[in-house]
């Protein structure tokens, strides 16, 4: 598939997927969603030999959410668009793919992450933002609710009081405060951002991939389990990982007092 709204490269196990509509602040349209599904499916299938995915935005924004000028949002024959259908076809599919991806994910938030753009960032395993970046739940300003998993991610990350304030008041949240609140992993100086992303991507690309993904899955499953159920859930993953090549390599490297050479197997 020839991409016009995103770019995708993969080098040394690091896949870099960039939302590439800078003149529209990388807002989503139908074509971008189709390209994102194709790119993520390529990573999931192994056609793209990634060990980590870095998701970023071109230009001065990460993503401004849905492009309200997109053809899917237009009134046709006097009828308003079915936004629920758009959420089901596009945004649900995007979040599910990110959450189920076979490699760890990093959101590199270089500017404004608004609406669905903020939720897509929060769907990644690690969110790193520049000092000048910010997060915005703008839905209440146009009569909607936070979607793309926003009502799920926000209360889990920052608690109900802060989540409700962000959603109802639609105030910008600076990246530094987002890190302070625990919404994101880290806020770094703009000048240090690229180097920090490269370092984290390299670290995850050389890590035991299956263990990282199972960690994500176990943590997301925990709220729906009792402690006893979660202990059994962990046991199943530990059994699987205990038979993996990376576990054997990790133990051998520890015994030999050397750095492990993980392959993701």
Which one, of 61, 86, 58, lies nearest residue 72 by Cα?
Answer: 86
**Residue segments in the chain with a per-residue pLDDT below the cut of 70:** none
Residue 106: strand pairing partners: 54, 126
**Chain position carrying tokens 């993520």:** 40
pLDDT in tens, 10-36: 999 999 999 999 999 999 999 999 999
Helix (H) or strand (E) holding 194: helix 193-205
pLDDT in tens, 53-98: 999 999 999 999 998 887 777 777 778 788 899 999 999 999 999 9
The answer to whether 57 and 26 are in contact (CB under 8 A) is yes
The answer to whether 173 and 136 are in contact (CB under 8 A) is yes
Average pLDDT, whole number, for the chain? 95
User: How many whole angstroms separate alpha carbon 253 and alpha carbon 247?
Assistant: 10
Per-residue pLDDT, 70: 79
The answer to whether 18 and 56 are in contact (CB under 8 A) is yes
CATH of 6-205 given 3.40.50.300, 3.90.226.10, 3.20.20.70, 3.10.150.10:
3.90.226.10
């Amino acid at each position: 598939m020839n991409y016009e709204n995103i770019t995708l490269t993969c080098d040394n196990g690091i896949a870099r997927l960039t939302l590439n509509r800078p003149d529209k602040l990388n807002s989503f349209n139908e074509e971008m969603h189709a390209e994102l599904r194709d790119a993520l499916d390529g990573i999931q299938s192994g056609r793209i030999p990634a060990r980590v995915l870095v998701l970023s935005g071109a230009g001065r924004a990460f993503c401004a959410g849905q492009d309200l000028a997109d053809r899917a949002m237009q009134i046709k024959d006097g009828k308003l668009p079915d936004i629920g259908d758009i959420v089901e076809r596009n945004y649900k599919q995007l979040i599910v793919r990110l959450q189920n991806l076979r490699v760890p994910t990093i959101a590199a938030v270089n500017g404004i992450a608004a609406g669905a753009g903020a939720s897509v960032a929060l769907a990644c395993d690690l969110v790193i933002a520049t000092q000048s970046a910010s997060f915005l739940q703008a839905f209440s300003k146009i009569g909607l609710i936070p979607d793309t998993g926003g009502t799920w991610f926000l209360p889990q990350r920052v608690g109900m009081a802060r989540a409700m304030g962000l959603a109802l008041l639609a105030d910008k949240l600076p990246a530094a405060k987002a890190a302070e609140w625990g919404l994101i992993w880290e806020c770094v100086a703009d000048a240090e951002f690229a180097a920090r992303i490269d370092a984290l991507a390299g670290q995850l690309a050389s890590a035991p991939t299956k263990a990282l993904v199972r960690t994500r899955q176990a943590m997301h499953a925990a709220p729906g389990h009792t402690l006893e159920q979660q202990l059994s859930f962990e046991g199943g993953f530990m059994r699987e990982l205990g038979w993996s090549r990376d576990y054997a390599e990790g133990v051998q490297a520890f015994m030999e007092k050397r750095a492990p050479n993980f392959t993701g197997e």
